Structure 1
Amino acid sequence: MGSIKNYARFYSSFNRLTIPGDKEEYKKVLVLQYTDNRTESLREMRSSEYIALCKSIEELAGYNVELKAQRSSCLKLMQELGVDTTDWHEINDFCQNARIAKMPFGCIGLDGLKELRKRLFALKAKGWRRNTTKEPIYMLNLAGVLGKA
C-alpha cells in the first residue's frame, strides 16, 4: 500500500468533471476500476494506482491541455519581456524570483501559472523589460513594478 498523504491532485481534477448523479459513488467506481476491485478507498490505493487514476482524470478534465496552454502563454509573455525562453536556466532564474513565482517554471501548477500570467501582464503593462546584459533576476529592481513583497 502506498503512502499517499495528500489527495489534492485527485480532487483538483475530479471536481472539474461534470458528473451526473452522486459524485462520491462515481469516485468509488473509479477507485475500484484502478485497483482491480481491491478497494473503493483512495487511502488504500497503491501509489502507482493513484498516479494512474490521477493521470486519467486529468486527461478527462482537460487539465493537461489547459496546463500546456497556460505554460505556452507564460513563455510567450516572458519572451516579450526579454527573457531568453530558449534557455531553461534563465527561465527558472526569472521564475524563482520572490516577486515572480518563487519556484522553477516546471514546478508551477495550473493555478500558479494563472497567477504568473497576471504578474507578467502587469510587468508588460508597466513597460518593464529584462536587461539584455543577462544579470540575474534577483539583481533587478522590480519593486516599483510589482509593489513591495
Structure 2
Amino acid sequence: MRGIEFHETMTGSYHLVTSPHAERPMSFTVRARTHGGLRGLLGRPEAEIEGEIDAEGLAEHRYLKGRLALDVLRTGKLVYDFQFEDDAGRPCRFAGEKTVRLDDLVETMTVLPGKLVLQGDGGEEIGQALLRFDLRGDLIRFLRSFRVVR
C-alpha cells in the first residue's frame, strides 16, 4: 500500500508551568508517513510521525512517536500529538494544534502552540510551547522531502 512521506522541523521555545518567565529552546523534527496514497489521505487524513524532540532541560535529543492529523479541509486544523520520555525516563506527551485560516494562511500554517504533559495520574500539564516552521530556512528542504513510499 502506498503512502506519502515528508519531513518537518519546528523550532521555538517552551517554559515550565512552574517557571512561566524562563523560556528555554525547543525543537522537534519528524518524519511523517500517510497510508493509502492520496485516496487514503482524503478518507483518513492522518500521518504517523516519529523523530526527535530537543527541549533544553526536559528532553534533550529524545525519540518521539505519535500522530499528525491533517484534516485541514474539514476541521481547519493540523493536530500534532506525540509521546516521548523526558531525561528522567518519565513518559510525556506533546499536544499542539495549528488552526488554519485563509485570511492569515502563512502565520496559521507556520505557528504551532502546544502543551507538554506528564502522562499518568491525570496527565498533569508541565509546560507550554510556541514553535514555528522556518519558511526561509526550511521550506525548500520540506518540499523536497515529499515522496511516495510503499
TM-score by structure 1 length? 0.19
Structure 1 or 2, whichever has the larger Rg, is 1
| The structure with more helix, counted as a fraction of residues | 1
| The structure with more strand, counted as a fraction of residues | 2
Q: Which structure has more RCO (C-alpha within 8 Å, separation ≥ 6)? A: 2
